[in-house]
Amino acid sequence: MMDMSSYATGLAHIGIPTTEFEDTALFYTELGFETIYACGSISDHSRVCFMRLGDLTVEIYEEESCAMCTGGIEHFAINVHDIEEVFGFINKRGLNNTDDEIHFLPYFENGVRYFTIEGPNKEKVEFNQYL
């Protein structure tokens, strides 16, 4: 029987929402993180920035209603090599408690496909396949 270790290849990123985008990006830059991808618009507060330090990637994104408190990390994402298989795996086990579908974003060179479920502590777990 296959389990998630058959599909997962590691941590994709940790999602950090912020109302202070510039300050947050500067903070992580000062820690030594380098921007590997950025997009969005200042006017509609839709900026997103992926920053990497070694093998750790954080996704910083503007969110007007984020918690801004300890425990405010919004999600973590797991890299997978076959999003369709993982989606079936999660649904077969009744773990798709958000009734999410597979989405596409035009991030990075070829885009990314992902879906999200919720853990027992309201944490979001994202499954992420770079294309």
Sheet holding 56-62, edge to edge: 34-39, 48-53, 56-62, 8-18, 75-80, 124-130, 112-118, 103-105
Q: Which of 5, 105, 123 is nearest to 67 (CA)?
A: 123
- Check whether residue 69 and residue 15 sit in a common domain: yes
pLDDT in tens, 11-23: 999 999 998 899 9
Of 51, 73, 95, the residue at which a domain comes to its end is 73
Cβ pair 55, 77 in contact under 8 A: no
Give the pLDDT band of residue 83 (cuts 50, 70, 90): very high
For residue 17 the two structure tokens come to 């929402």
Query: 3 lies in a domain?
Result: no
- Check whether residue 82 and residue 68 sit in a common domain: no
pLDDT over 90 at 43, yes or no: no
Query: 2 lies in a domain?
Result: no
CATH number, residue 81: 3.10.180.10
Half-sphere exposure of 64 (CA within 13 A, CB side): 5
Threshold 0.85, pTM exceeds: no
- Check whether residue 64 and residue 84 sit in a common domain: no
Q: What is the pLDDT of residue 1?
A: 58
Q: What is the pLDDT of residue 2?
A: 72
Q: What is the pLDDT of residue 60?
A: 93
Query: 6 lies in a domain?
Result: no
pLDDT over 70 at 62, yes or no: yes
- Check whether residue 84 and residue 127 sit in a common domain: yes
- Check whether residue 115 and residue 68 sit in a common domain: no
In one-letter notation, the amino acid at residue 64 is E
Cβ pair 115, 126 in contact under 8 A: yes
Residue 37's domain spans which residues? 11-73
Query: 59 lies in a domain?
Result: yes
